Amino acid sequence: MLHHTAVIDSQARIDEDVDIGPYCTIDGPVIIKRGTKLISHVVVQGATTIGENCTVSPFASIGGAPQDITYMGEETQVVIGHNNTIKEYVTINRGTVHGGGTTKVGDHNLIMAYAHIAHDCALGNHVIMTNGATLGGHVQVADFATISAFCAIHQFCRIGQYAFVSGLTGIPNDVPPFVIAAGGAGNRAKLYGLNVVGLERHGFKKEEISQLKKAYKLLFRSALPLSTSLKIIQEEIRSEHIETLIDFMKTSKRGVCR
Q: Does the residue 176 lie in any domain?
A: no
Element (H, E) at 206: helix 206-220
Q: Given this model, what pLDDT does residue 32 score?
A: 98
Final residue in a domain of this structure, among 123, 138, 153: 138
Residues 11 and 128 in one domain: yes
Q: Does the residue 151 lie in any domain?
A: no
Task: Name beta bridge partners: 181.
Answer: 165, 191
Predicted TM-score (pTM) of the model is 0.97
Q: Does the residue 162 lie in any domain?
A: no
- 65 has a pLDDT exceeding 80: yes
Residues 38 and 125 in one domain: yes
Q: Report which of 56, 114, 113 is spatially closest to residue 80, judged by C-alpha positions.
A: 56
Domain containing 88 equals 7-138
Q: Does the residue 164 lie in any domain?
A: no
CATH number, domain at 221?
1.20.1180.10
Residues 30 and 118 in one domain: yes
Mean pLDDT taken over the chain: 97
Give the confidence band of 188 by pLDDT, cuts at 50, 70, 90. Answer: confident
Final residue in a domain of this structure, among 120, 138, 156: 138
Q: Does the residue 2 lie in any domain?
A: no
Tally of structural domains, the chain: 2
Distance of CA 168 to the CA centre of its chain: 17
Q: Does the residue 158 lie in any domain?
A: no
Count other Cβ atoms within 10 Å, centred on residue 77.
17
Alpha-carbon span 90 to 112, nearest angstrom: 7
Residues 29 and 118 in one domain: yes
CATH number, domain at 46?
2.160.10.10
Q: Given this model, what pLDDT does residue 184 score?
A: 64
Task: Let me know if 68 is exposed, middle or buried by CB neighbors in 10 A (0-12, 13-18, 19+).
Answer: middle
- 185 has a pLDDT exceeding 90: no
- 187 has a pLDDT exceeding 80: no
Give the confidence band of 186 by pLDDT, cuts at 50, 70, 90. Answer: low
Task: Let me know if 208 is exposed, middle or buried by CB neighbors in 10 A (0-12, 13-18, 19+).
Answer: middle
pLDDT digits (tens, 9 = 90+) for 202-251: 999 999 999 999 999 999 999 999 999 999 999 999 999 999 999 999 99
Q: Does the residue 128 lie in any domain?
A: yes
Q: Which residues are catalytic?
A: 119-120, 137
- 170 has a pLDDT exceeding 90: yes
Distance of CA 30 to the CA centre of its chain: 22
CA angle 184, 190, 192 (to 5 degrees): 100
Q: Does the residue 182 lie in any domain?
A: no
